[in-house]
């Protein structure tokens, strides 16, 4: 089982939307998963999470949030559903996915 905590951002146009998330694996290791707009801040948060050794329940004590960000409740996802759940969450958070070599070649050749 994996545990996930979504981080939502608020905008006047869209309201609250999924922007990033923290994933806790079966051994309790946390990973901050984010899109390109987080850039260096995302790297910094990941380093802070790795060094702190805290649990997902305590995440709001390590990552400071402004008024336009909020944590949702922890979600627990069974292993057999985790891949599909994370794929959908990555799409909702606009997290880039690595492309295969074939996709990269096809795009280069089409250009």
Q: pLDDT per residue over 2-42, tens digit each?
A: 999 999 999 999 899 999 999 998 888 899 999 999 999 99
CA distances (Å), origin 45, targets 36, 72, 108: 14, 17, 34
pTM of the model: 0.84
Please tell me the predicted confidence (pLDDT) of residue 108: 61
Task: State pLDDT tens for residues 35-71.
Answer: 999 999 999 988 988 888 888 999 888 777 788 999 9
């Amino acid at each position: 089982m994996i545990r996930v905590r979504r981080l939502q951002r608020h905008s006047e146009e869209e309201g609250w939307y999924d922007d990033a998330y923290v994933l806790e694996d079966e051994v309790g290791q946390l990973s901050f998963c984010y899109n390109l707009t987080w850039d260096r801040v995302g790297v910094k948060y990941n380093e802070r999470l790795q060094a702190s050794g805290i649990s997902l329940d305590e995440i709001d004590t390590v990552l400071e949030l402004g008024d336009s960000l909020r944590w949702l409740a922890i979600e627990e996802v069974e292993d057999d559903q985790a891949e599909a759940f994370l794929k959908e969450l990555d799409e909702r958070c606009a997290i880039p996915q690595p492309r295969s070599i074939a996709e990269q070649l096809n795009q280069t050749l089409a250009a």
